[in-house]
Amino acid sequence: MSEALALVPKAEAKQSMKDFKSDQEVRWCPGCGDYAVLAAVQSFMPELGLAKENIVFVSGIGCSSRFPYYMNTYGMHSIHGRAPAIATGLATSRRDLSVWVVTGDGDALSIGGNHLIHALRRNVNLKILLFNNRIYGLTKGQYSPTSEIGKITKSTPMGSLDAPFNPLSLALGAEASFVARSIDSDRKHLQSVLRAAADHQGTALVEIYQNCNIFNDGAFDVLKDKDSAQEAVIRLEHGQPIRFGAPAEDGLGRMGVVRDPASGDLRVVDVTVEGTDSVLVHDAAASSPTTAFALTRLADPDTLHHTPIGVLRDVKRAVYDTDMAEQLEQAVVQQGKGDLGKLLAGGDTWTVAG
Amino acid sequence: MTSQVSTSAGDPPAVGDVLGEQRRPEKQTRRLDRVIIRFAGDSGDGMQLTGDRFTSETASFGNDLSTLPNFPAEIRAPAGTLPGVSSFQLHFADHDILTPGDAPDVLVAMNPAALKANIGDLPRGAEIIVNTDEFGKRALERVGYAANPLEDGSLESYSVHPVPLTTLTLEALKDSGLARRDAERAKNMFALGLLSWMYHRPTESTESFLRKKFAKKPDIAEANVTAYRAGWNFGETTEDFAVSYEVAPAASAFPPGTYRNISGNLALAYGLVAASKQAELPLFLGSYPITPASDVLHELSRHKNFGVRTFQAEDEIAAIGAALGAAFGGSLAVTTTSGPGVALKSETIGLAVSLELPLLIVDIQRGGPSTGLPTKTEQADLLQAMYGRNGEAPVPIVAPATPGDCFTAALEAARIALTYRTPVFLLSDGYLANGSEPWRIPEEGELPDLRVDFATAPNHTNADGTRVFWPYQRDPQTLARPWAVPGTPGLEHRIGGIEKQDGTGNISYDPANHDFMVRTRQAKIDGIQVPNVAVDDPGLADGTGRARTLVIGWGSTYGPITAAVRRIRREGGQVAQAHLRHLNPLPANLGQVLGEYERVIVPEMNLGQLAHLLRAKYLVDAHSYTQVTGLPFKAEQLAAAIAQAAEPVGTDGRSGNATKAEGNADV
């Protein structure tokens, strides 16, 4: 068991996916990517072996935010954008809980952008699953802060003028200690990322590309179609050279990511032409976020070509709730355990006799 | 000053010996029953500290007292300007008093701006101590004095003491080795020393305070102590100050007990710590800095050894969000703010209403709307607290009456939140927050038992006989729902802001269920048990019969209203008084009480918000008397307005404007 979950009580008996299904009927649109994520999470949870009464899912508002209703754990469906703040209070005051936030691109990056970046910089022990479908679903199809420029939606009949956020670039800029990305339909990969997030001490941000088959269908097809994915997706693995595409002679991808010596930026090269010597080896634990940031910039925002998935960054740094608990303990050492009578009396008192 | 008793010249000052200056000219000591002093200077002159110290000396001497700090929102407004004037008024007496006083008997003016800004509040004959060093041509011009008021005769009707405070301070510190600039800064302590001599204040606590405050800069500490002593000695020796005054301790004003001086924000913070202890729940404060509430955050941050977690959030919304998250986890959760912050928190308060979790929302009200008057007082958030949310979202409201009462009110707000599983508003204001008074320290045995029972087991049997947990299965008495905190096996449940099915808490869009849930949430708040409102109507006791007029207020107007009522009664008027601590729900007997009086007068520091509620709920013709100056009511003015409004029906009893009152309120 990882250090991150050391304070969370363990399940007494072996758990199965069924233990994490609530009795509520799931009400997402048929074919929604959320079903796949729910199944992936429910089937992953038993692996953690935690007492399920010590697991809490907190969400905001949006399609994805209905998620807690379907988990047979403790849960709160709160208000738009505020889940990271609510979860911060919960995780900070109850270190025996495993706290998960479920949010979407509108919830986390638009109305709740402030809470997201501050949760990341504080590094509270909570795991944020950001379902990114690049559209507003629950309000029926307006563009979101991750929609591409020029997107035609109900609120942008002539095309969206907003430049989108790259959620992972944003997270790294906000000092996130754990940043990862996965795809709704790739359960195996998604669960590997969830595992790494659960093991991480502090705030983990997992962006999950999720298909909205009603308002933005096929947004991530290029990453899912077997043929196109080979060229479009860069699968990052810690300690491995960053290679993708059709296999080269050595069995690894024909394409590689190298650092341009002139600009310091990253670029994609054909290793059969340029050789493999300069291909970067992925280091998620690198103390500087510079290379992770550069990786997040490789994807073409329009075509999604060269989209990295996997754990981009996973580093250790001070965890807010751990440090707060330590301050409380230190205060008792320094000042003694709180004595209310002494506190109320303060320094200067006088007595009126009866 | 209402009574002066001359005693034989040369009575030794109570603590003069401590100070060691021995050449003593013939001095008179007069006895007073009460004094109002106002210290005024630049916002960088240390007037608040000076006032605080004089207050501490006065409190430990055993006088009753009430204070009114008044300062600009700017940290350091341009020096020597009218907007930069900061003042601290202190009223102390040998008897029970209720307000910081209407008009100062003594003004300490550190510069021309301080004189100009405050002279209008002074009655004829008041004493003015001015720092003549600051009355240069440019300083006078900056505040629009064409001629020096110390020389042009315009202050003839006052008793002016011109004192070169800066020069005397520099002289006293000439051997200190301090740079002129640093030495000059001790002039407020010189003034404090002088006033401490004039009023026979004990000096030891200020000296030890200064040594502690500047422990890391012993030369500064010594300089301040030296200036303080020099000020005392100056009073003792100079012929300009021929008289000193004694105000005896207010022994009979206080019930037996141990007392301290306390400000409203400090009392409120202590009340929260006490509530946490009495509830046996850890305290969690989510807060974002805002005037005048930040001191509660500062204070609670110092008490981590009580298990108090303070979280300074990224914004007001996150502050209450984190508190709500902590409440879900089983903490006694609090958020502290002022009016603008409440506006931002509204949606989360609505969520707390829907989730039915205990949560304290402390609103230290200030002048509004918008940024308004951040450092001034007002009580104009009542209707915001009452109604400022979408949907039907009732929230109980508790309001303290005095600085010390903030302690008790915090415990009461916690009782309601914990018993009924609801967010609760605690409406303090800037006047209570920064004002102070002597406070009897309660014994721990006097504090209420606030322990709660968390849900531990299923509470419902399904048709098939299985035992399940229903998060919205209510207590039949209180209508409170169970508080099942994460970590409790078998009670896993989901709650949210979407309408819930009665009992199960599952999402429900059923029309009849929504109607039922809205009414049930309202019924829960309406059914909160609060004490009946007490009416002070001396005629009922002494046989002269019920008064025709009832004056009713809420919150921090308690002091001025009570003082005004006393004043009316002393002049032979008959008026009953009631004061509301619970604004939602209102006390069960209130309708009956209101019905027993021909006239109901409601003084408020807003445009009639309580009057509006009373009129709507009880169909009573409540007369509103209002003031929104950012300052508390003055007792004399209020007495005149109440007397006018209480005139027999048929004359125009309504009084919207205060009559400008001169003179000195004896309350």
Whether residue A208 is contained in a domain is answered as: yes
CA atoms within 13 A on the CB side of B542: 7
Residue A324 inside a domain? The answer is: no
Euclidean distance between CA atoms B590 and B613, whole angstroms: 12
Q: What are phi and psi of B369, to 5 degrees?
A: -80, 180
CA B135 – CA A76 distance, rounded (Å): 64
Chain segment B94-149, per-residue pLDDT in tens: 999 999 999 999 999 999 999 999 999 999 999 999 999 999 999 999 999 999 99
| A277: CB partners within 8 A, 6+ apart | none
What's the helix, strand, coil split of chain B in %, to 5? Answer: 35, 20, 40
CA-CA distance, B97 to B635, in Å (whole number)?
11
Query: How many CB atoms within 10 Å of residue A175?
Result: 15
Model pLDDT, residue B3: 39
Contact B292, B434 (CB under 8 A): yes
Which residues are CB-neighbours of B607 under 8 A, at least 6 positions away? B380, B624, B626, B628
Q: Does A35 touch chain B (CB under 8 A)?
A: no
Q: Assign B506 a pLDDT band (cuts: 50, 70, 90).
A: very high
Q: Is the peptide bond before B585 cis (omega within 30 degrees of 0)?
A: yes
Confidence band of A39 (pLDDT split at 50, 70, 90): very high
The number of beta carbons lying within 10 Å of the beta carbon of residue A64 is 31
Model confidence at B665, in pLDDT bands (50, 70, 90)?
very low
Determine the residue of chain B that is closest to A338 in CA distance: B306
A280 within a domain of the structure (yes/no): no
Domain that holds residue A55: 3-235
Instruction: Pick the closest to residue B363 from B276, B416, B419, B430 (CA basis).
Output: B430
- Section A270-297 average pLDDT: 97
CA angle B573–B579–B583, rounded 5-degree value: 150
Work out the average pLDDT over B310-316: 98
Taking only the tens place, the pLDDT of each residue in B370-392 is 999 999 999 999 999 999 999 99
Q: Inform me whether the pLDDT recorded for A98 exceeds 90.
A: yes
Given this model, what pLDDT does residue B651 score? Answer: 43
Nearest CB partner across the interface for A337, out of B305, B317, B347: B305
Q: List, as ranges, residues 4-43 from B with C-beta within 8 Å of A.
A: none
User: What confidence score (pLDDT) does residue B32 get?
Assistant: 95
**Chain B environment of A77 (Cβ under 8 Å):** 494-498
| Whether B318 and A82 lie within 8 Å, measured CB to CB | yes
Q: In sequence order, which residues have a C-beta less than 8 Å from that of residue B452 and are 6 or more positions away?
A: B279, B281, B418, B419, B483
Minimal CA separation from A144 to chain B, in Å: 22
| Whether A4 contacts A125, CB under 8 Å | yes
Tell if the CB–CB gap between B444 and A58 is shorter than 8 Å: no
B390/A contact by beta carbon, under 8 A: no
Among A317-321, B13-17, B39-43, B338-342, the range scoring the smallest mean pLDDT is B13-17
pLDDT, one tens digit per residue, over B418-451 is: 999 999 999 999 999 999 999 999 998 999 999 9
Closest CA to B271 of B232, B308, B240: B308
Do B311 and A92 count as a contact with CB atoms less than 8 A apart?
A: yes
Kindly determine whether residue A86 and residue B328, on different chains, have CB atoms separated by under 8 Å: yes
- The answer to whether residue A123 is domain-embedded is yes
Does residue A308 fall inside a structural domain?
A: no
A328 and B351 in contact by Cβ < 8 A? Answer: no
- CB contacts under 8 A, B 244-263 vs A, are 251, 254-262
Question: Residue B89 pairs with which residues in a beta bridge?
Answer: B38, B68
β-bridge pairing B622-626 and B599-604: parallel
The ipTM of this complex is 0.97
State yes or no: pLDDT of B10 exceeds 60.
no
More confident residue, B652 or B440: B440
| A residues 224-253 lying closer than 8 A (beta carbon) to B | none
| Residue B14, pLDDT above cutoff 80 | no
pLDDT at A90: 98
Distance from the Cα of A67 to chain B's closest Cα (Å) equals 10
What pLDDT digit, counting tens, does each position of B538-574 carry? 999 899 999 999 999 999 999 999 999 999 999 999 9
Other residues' Cβ atoms within 10 Å of the Cβ of residue B496? 23
A93/B329 CB distance under 8 A: yes
Q: Taking CA atoms, what residue in B is nearest to A348?
A: B260
Note the pLDDT tens digit of each residue in A7-23. 999 999 999 999 999 99
Contact check, Cβ <8 Å, B321/A86: yes
Please say whether the beta carbons of A165 and A106 come within 8 A: no
* Contacting residues for B552 by C-beta, under 8 A, at least 6 apart: B577, B578, B579, B580, B594, B600, B601, B602, B610, B614, B622
What residues of A are in contact with residue B441 (Cβ under 8 Å)?
Answer: 344-345, 349
Q: What are phi and psi of A270, to 5 degrees?
A: -90, 115
Q: Which of B381, B334, B432, B404 is nearest to B583 (CA)?
A: B381
Name beta bridge partners: B475: none
Report H helices in B26-111. 47-61
Tell me whether A13 touches chain B (CB under 8 Å).
Answer: no
Q: Tens digit of pLDDT for each residue in B247-289?
A: 999 988 889 999 999 999 999 999 999 999 999 999 999 999 9
- pLDDT at res. B25: 54
The answer to whether the CB of A239 falls within 8 A of the CB of A283 is yes
SS3 state at B551: strand
Interface test with B, best of A12, A103, A138, A352 (most B CBs within 10 A): A352
DSSP E strands, B546-626: 549-554, 576-580, 582-584, 599-604, 622-626
Q: What is the pLDDT of residues A61-94, one digit of tens each?
A: 999 999 999 999 999 999 999 999 999 999 999 9
> What's the structural domain count of chain A?
1
Q: In chain B, which residues have their Cβ closer than 8 Å to the Cβ of A75?
A: 492-496
Cα–Cα distance measured from residue B163 to residue B127, given in angstroms and rounded to the nearest whole number: 13
| Chain B residue with Cα closest to A11 | B489
For residue B466, give the amino acid letter. Answer: T
Q: Name the residue among A58, A102, A57, A12 with its Cα closest to residue B490.
A: A12
Q: Is residue A51 part of a domain?
A: yes
pLDDT band at B24 (very low <50, low <70, confident <90, very high): low
Report the CATH number that the domain containing residue A156 is assigned in CATH: 3.40.50.970
Q: Which residues, in sequence order, are bridge partners of residue A256?
A: A243, A269
Cα dihedral sign, B496-B502-B507-B511: negative
The side-by-side arrangement of strands in the sheet containing B28-32 is B4-6, B28-32, B243-247
Nearest-by-Cβ selection for A349 from B441, B442, B495: B441
Where is average pLDDT lowest: A277-281, B326-330, B424-428, B651-655?
B651-655
B95 close to A (CB below 8 A): no
d(CA B39, CA B548): 41
- Asked if A327 and B59 come within 8 Å (Cβ–Cβ), the reply is no
Please tell me what DSSP assigns to residue B292. Answer: T
- CA of A82 vs chain B CAs: smallest distance (Å): 7
- The C-alpha atoms of residue B505 and residue B486 are separated, in whole angstroms, by 16
Residue B163 token pair: 């004192």
Q: Which two tokens stand for residue B488?
A: 């409790």
Nearest chain B residue to A83 by CA distance is B321
Cα four-point dihedral sign B337, B339, B344, B347: positive
* Average predicted confidence (pLDDT) for chain B: 92
Residue B504 contacts A, CB cutoff 8 Å: no
Question: Is A273 within a domain?
Answer: no
Average pLDDT, chain A: 96
pLDDT one-digit tens code per residue, B580-596: 999 999 999 999 999 99
Q: Which residues of A touch B305 (CB under 8 A)?
A: 328, 331-332, 334-338
Q: What is the DSSP string of B245-265?
A: EEE---GGGS-SEEEEEEEHH
In this structure, are residues B546 and B517 in contact, taking their beta carbons and an 8 Å threshold?
no
Chain B residues in contact with A86 by the CB 8 A cut-off are: 321-322, 324-325, 328
The pLDDT value recorded for residue A31 is 96
Instruction: Please report which residue ranges of B154-312 form alpha helices under DSSP H.
Output: 165-172, 180-184, 187-198, 204-213, 218-237, 264-279, 294-301
Q: Is A9 within the bounds of a domain? A: yes
Q: Which of B260, B317, B350 sits opposite A345 (nearest CB)?
A: B260
Question: Given CB atoms, is A354 within the 8 Å cutoff of chain B?
Answer: yes
Interface of A with B in 313-332 (CB under 8 A): 324, 327-328, 330-332
Q: What is the DSSP string of A81-106?
A: T-HHHHHHHHHHH-TTSEEEEEEEHH
What domains are there in chain B, each with its CATH number? 32-163 (3.40.920.10), 165-239 (no CATH), 259-446 (3.40.50.970), 535-645 (3.40.50.920)
B646 within 8 A of B76, measured Cβ to Cβ: no
* Pairwise CB contact (< 8 Å): A53 & B325: no
B198-214: per-residue pLDDT in tens?
Answer: 999 999 999 999 999 99
Paired sense of beta strands B257-263 and B283-287, if any: unpaired
For residue B56, the chain A residue with the least C-alpha distance is A348
Which of B60, B277, B306 is nearest residue A350 as measured by Cβ atoms? Answer: B60
Backbone φ, ψ for residue A351 (5° rounding) = -115, 135
Comparing CB atoms, the residue among B260, B284, B306 nearest residue A349 is: B260
Share of chain B above pLDDT 70, in %: 93
Mean pLDDT of B300-308: 98
CB neighbours of residue B417 within 10 Å: 30
